[in-house]
Structure 1
Amino acid sequence: MTVYGALDIGGTKIAGALVDDAGTLVLRAQRPTPAQKSAPELMAAVTSVIDELAAHPMWDEMTCLGIASAGPVDTAAGTVSPVNIPAWRHFPLVDEVAAHPRLPVGLRPVLIGDAVAMAAAEHWLGAARQSENALCMVVSTGVGGGLILDGRLRTGRTGNAGHIGHISVDLDGSLCPCGAPGCVEGLASGTAIAAQAQAAGWSTPAGVAPTAAAVADAARKGDRRALEAYERAAQALAAAIAATAALVELDIVVIGGGVAQAGDTLFVPLRRRMVDYAVLDFTRGLPVVPALLALDAGLIGAAAVASAQAGTPALAASPRP
């Protein structure tokens, strides 16, 4: 059995895994992301995940290591500047990971955006498996996307193609941390959903964190403010998806990430709003479905892309950039 390494770094969690050539996670490790901490503290969390993976006997059999990170990323430079991790700006993540003393000699990690990794995984093994043209989205602490066009993963010059979270859908909206007004991420991320519900007067019981998951729970119980927060998020997502479909033509849209775990609370209003925005003949009726690989898609995709770049034949069925 061939073994591939993977890291998936987002605004909420830092995950790592050893993945076999069937896309199965042999081992998984995870730490919370200290998103508001210093760059060294953030890297320490990454190192802790690597340390746990490296303690497994199969670590030494690893043939490549993929890193999926929230973006923007610069795949050529090996740097990351996640919008929701302020201390990392042009942070040399690939060099830092490559310097880990347990990394096999000569192994250079491969960097990819987290949503692009999710697109690779869903095209290889998930909901977009039979699709030639797909938009795959991560809706979580942030909002990202990756594109499969003509059956191939399209990463773009710097690795940021499909970064749908920073399409402006509200011309007079609040400034996003990226600097632009009215971004999808500022309206539809888990953070935005919780903030919108709280601004409308919603609150959680004592001891319960005000997260998007808590808002979804309240929405399922009929709380009007929670329902409106998801409605607003769904409208922003529908506008951005329809715009993307008009630009590149799509067969399917796959949505994963923590917010997608809300199920019908998100997907019912999203599909309804798609009718309002996807009105052209070639965009109308576009399927919008949940990711099949759930929260492991970034890890599986990072391993798949790294193996493809390394020319590993065992993952020949996985999408190549």
Structure 2
Amino acid sequence: MVGTHPSHHGSPLALAVDIGGTKVAAALVDDHGFLVPGSTARAATGGVGNAAGLTHNIVGVVADVLRTAPRGARIVGVGIGSAGPVDLARGAVSPKNLAALDRFPVVDVVAAAVRAEQGDDSGDVPVVLRLDGTCIALAERWRGANRGARHSMAIVVSTGVGGGIILDGAMVSGASGNAGHIGQLRLRPADAGGPSDSGTLEGIAAGPRTVAWAQSRRWLGQTGEQLAASYADGDPVARAAVRRSAEAVGLAISNVTTLLDLEAVAIGGGFANVAPDYVDLVRAAAEESALFPYASAVTIRPTGLAGDGPLIGAAALVHRASDLALRGTVEPEPA
């Protein structure tokens, strides 16, 4: 392997893999939660129409990253965060926005890619899978906006809406590994004749749904970036659309906080940047929705990790396993 970053010579590194609706990304991450410079690789998932093509892209990204490993570095584990639902017992994923990955055996695919690249050097490197929202919650507690909070949640508002939960310092996976699917929390009944997920947080607040809502009210733009520009220009439809998204996120936070008594929530994702006051609008909606003082006391902040959160969180599955009570949870069945 070619050394590219001597400061990581001999240090334990995690191979972090993030699989989402538009791309697969991977990187090497050290045990302090920092990406090794030059180790990140990406490839498309959205628009790739079959499992073979997606397998090719995932394997290629893993191989590209491993070839950047510094000389003498130790790959001590692989963490995979994926859009869900996930099936931890089988090491498989069926992402809602990637039909070609239905019951896709991602743990086996990534493990094989590591063996192919490293040969006997790969040894018994563990491969751990979790929901991508769970990984982001781990990242925010480790290095992001939720540091110091024992009871926290992370939410990503983007093409979809995802989330993850930390309670008493430990991640919450649930019986099947799918705890944290806040985007599918139903805030109102489905629209008659509309999509089955209308009325869910994702169906209301996600970027494409917000753009579509604005278009239905004769806004002429096409993208989230254009909606952001219209919002900045004071366009009333754009401003109403952004407020509608933020208010739905705030309501969902209030509901989860009332149930779980959270201390802190971090909000990330590309669409959370659609307006400079988006998080302020979320915060106001959450406070207005809360019925009890403890629920209105939750701290709501923008992410502290920018775009690196998913990979840092996937690496936390390796580097922070004992601290975050990952042991004893469901793992893939042995082959």
Aligned to 2:56: 44
Q: In the alignment, which of 80, 99, 102 is matched to residue 117 of structure 2? A: 102
Superposition deviation, residue 197 in structure 1:
2.2
Task: Go from structure 1 to structure 2 and tell me whether the alpha carbon gap of 1:45 and 1:119 turns closer, same or farther (over 3 Å shift).
Answer: same
1:170 to 188, 194, 211: 188
Deviation per CA, 1:157-186, whole angstroms, max 9, x where unpaired?
Answer: 222112111100121337887x45521111
Q: How many residues align?
A: 308
1:15 aligns with 2:25: yes
Q: Do structure 1's residue 320 and structure 2's residue 325 form an aligned pair? A: yes
User: How many angstroms apart in 2 are the aligned matches of 1:222 and 1:181?
Assistant: 27
Identity %: 37
Who is 1:196 aligned against? 213
SS of the residue 1:58 aligns to: coil
Q: Deviations over 1:121-142 (max 9, x none)?
A: 1111111111111111111121
Q: Please give the alpha-carbon distance, in whole angstroms, between the structure 1 residues aligned to 2:139 and 2:93.
A: 21
Distance in 2 separating the partners of 1:34 and 1:41: 11
> Does 1:63 pair with 2:76?
yes
Secondary structure of the structure 1 residue equivalent to 2:295:
coil
- Decide which of 235, 238, 242 is 1:230's aligned counterpart: 242
Q: Could you report, residue by residue, the CA deviation over 1:97-133 in whole angstroms, capped at 9, with x for unpaired residues?
A: 1121115243342111111001101111111111111
C-alpha contact (below 8 Å) 1:242/1:278 kept by paired residues? yes
Measure, in 2, the Cα distance between the counterparts of 1:216 and 1:174. 29
Structure 2 residue ranges without an equivalent (≥5):
1-10, 327-335
The AA in structure 1 aligned to 2:139 is A
Question: Is 2:138 the partner of 1:117?
Answer: no
Task: Report if aligned partners of 2:77, 2:125 keep a CA contact under 8 Å in 1.
Answer: yes
**How do 1:1-321 residues align onto structure 2 when only pairs under 5 Å count?**
1-26=11-36, 27-35=39-47, 37-58=49-70, 61-100=74-113, 101-102=116-117, 104-173=122-191, 179-204=196-221, 210-262=222-274, 264-309=276-321, 319-321=324-326
Distance in 2, matches of 1:49 and 1:203, equals 38
Scaled by the length of structure 1, the TM-score of the pair is 0.89
Amino acid paired to 2:138: A
| Cα distance in 2 between the residues matched to 1:213 and 1:219 | 10
Amino acid at match of 2:246: A
Inter-partner Cα distance in structure 2 for 1:272 and 1:192: 22
Computing the radius of gyration from Cα coordinates, the structure with the larger value is 2
Residue identity opposite 2:86 in structure 1 = V
Structure 2 residue matching 1:282: 3-state secondary structure: helix
Q: CA deviation at 1:17?
A: 0.6
- Alignment RMSD (CA, Å): 2.1
Distance 1:47 1:292 in 2: 30
The alpha carbon displacement at 1:35 in A equals 4.5
The amino acid that maps onto 1:193 is T
Q: Name the aligned partner's letter for residue 294 of structure 2.
A: F
